Structure 1
Amino acid sequence: MLNISQSPLEKRFRALVGASSKKFAGIVRARHVLNALNKNDQDTADYLSAFYDQAHFIKDFKKFSSMTPEHYLKMLRQRQK
């Protein structure tokens, strides 16, 4: 459809965005989760919908926020008091 093979497309994406498409997708998913948590939208099914399983979700969450989802929620609750 784009008349370009995967490798050159990935190189162009990386040059424009500064990250691979896989890493960029992970950042978008992580931001979605953090925004939902910050809005007190705690529907776990919504958070996990973009992830293969709970372990994958926790691993990615820790990679982008430097803490577990449980620790992040505790921190949010303390701020709201």
Structure 2
Amino acid sequence: HLTGLNMVGLKRRGFSRDDIHELRKAYRLLFAEEGTMAERLEDVSATFKDHPTVMDIVNFIQIDSARAVCQPKVERAA
């Protein structure tokens, strides 16, 4: 399961604070519980169309829609 973005790796690779902030927003939208993955991809694509790094992620997922995408672990209330 996914646990979030690799913040240390992003910082080491020289991503700006603004880029990291946008990636976090896109991650939250992409892996929200509402809607299907296709709907969320469409929303993220429309919202971040001018952000090349986010669009790289969207395009990677869309290239082979038959490929499974790892999902974050869902915490359930006991």
TM-score range, shorter chain: 0.3 to 0.5
TM-score by length of 1: 0.36
Q: TM-score, normalised by structure 2?
A: 0.37
Higher relative contact order (CA 8 A, sep 6+): 2
Q: Which has the higher helix share?
A: 1
